Amino acid sequence: MSLEDIDVDQYQTVFQQEGPRPPVVVLRDYILGFDSNYRNRILDHLHSMPGPRTTIVWSNLIRPEVKANYPNFDFVFNHDMSESYLYEPLYGYTQHPDIDYQNFLCSFNGSGQVGRQLLTSALHKFGYANSVYVTKNFSYTIDHIDGHLSKYLTEDQARFYRKFAVTTCDKFANAKIELGNWEVDRFLHRSNIEVLAPLVTKSFIHLVSESWSHSYQPHITEKFMYSILTRGLFLSYAQPTWHQTIQNVFGYRLYTKIFDYSFDSIENPVERLVALLSMIEKFKMLSTDEWRDLYQIESDAIEFNYQHFMSGDCYKRLSDYTA
């Protein structure tokens, strides 16, 4: 393989390479995430190789804590790597269904990464896992979820958080919950939004299930755009400071008039998940008329976000961005 350009299907083969390390390395997609010490297995291996000072090009901004771990690297943020295949296909989506609240929450969970196992288990525990609006294209066991909690929490913490994050239903854990006969391809973003828009616009909250949400370094994908382009409300179970990043870097507005984003700064993925779901729990008891009124409170931010993307302002901002 070539170390100059590393894509998803090459991640595992990186560890078989002995160098020398090239002067420029392009990394694509989630790169296996970052642990609580802000280390990444691929970057660790590249950093251990002999070679010149190396420029690492990635489509996400790198946290300062990560940069400090890799003194021989210069990190370059290149949004165009994401723009071409994540966002460009969505500019042509200009007509969406009307907002018509019939459901509290929707969430779409494709591959069975640890974060999505935790999310779907907790959604079921909170009573949010309506099989029409919440997908889970993978299975696991309750013991798997217990194991994840043990990895991220002390024994006493796990005993507490198990009450909120571990489903007690083997049938749900073992089941795959898919969108009937609809085929959703993770790479066909334009057709995916056509499939998902009717569910998103009927739901008060679109809880975005971000890729590698149990990681400690923000990774922004196109998934939240399904709400931006249908003029809906969304929150993301994602990495810490993910919401801060789409506000401060991408330029989108958060819905701070109705949502409390304090969960976004919580580093631990289990604690962050339970804080997020606990924050939105109060909205579940409201009527559809009350949901619509809350929607109107945020109507200016919702419309701004739509125009921010469709006008190309977001793309220009990110293209000109210097960290």
Query: Span 142-162, mean pLDDT?
Result: 97
pLDDT (mean) for 240-265: 98
Q: First and final CA of the chain: distance in angstroms?
A: 30
| Mean pLDDT, range 201-221, rounded to an integer | 97
Nearest alpha-carbon partner for 63 in 30, 27, 79, 39: 39
What are the domain boundaries of the chain? Answer: 5-77, 94-306
Say if residue 58's pLDDT is above 80.
yes
Q: How many CB atoms lie within 10 A of CB 269?
A: 25
> pLDDT grade, residue 183 (50/70/90)?
low
Give the lowest-confidence range in 143-147, 192-196, 229-233, 235-239: 192-196
* Rounded-to-10 torsion of CA 41, 43, 46, 51: -160
pLDDT at 185: 62
Average pLDDT over residues 261-284: 98
User: Stretch 170-190: mean pLDDT, rounded?
Assistant: 76
pLDDT of residue 47: 96
Q: Which of 73-87, 118-132, 289-303 has the lowest mean pLDDT?
A: 73-87
Q: How confident is the model over 176-185, as a mean pLDDT?
A: 68
What pLDDT sits at residue 87? Answer: 87
Which one, of 106, 46, 96, 79, lies nearest residue 233 by Cα?
Answer: 106
The DSSP annotation for 226-251 comes to HHHTTT--EEEE-STTHHHHHHHTS-
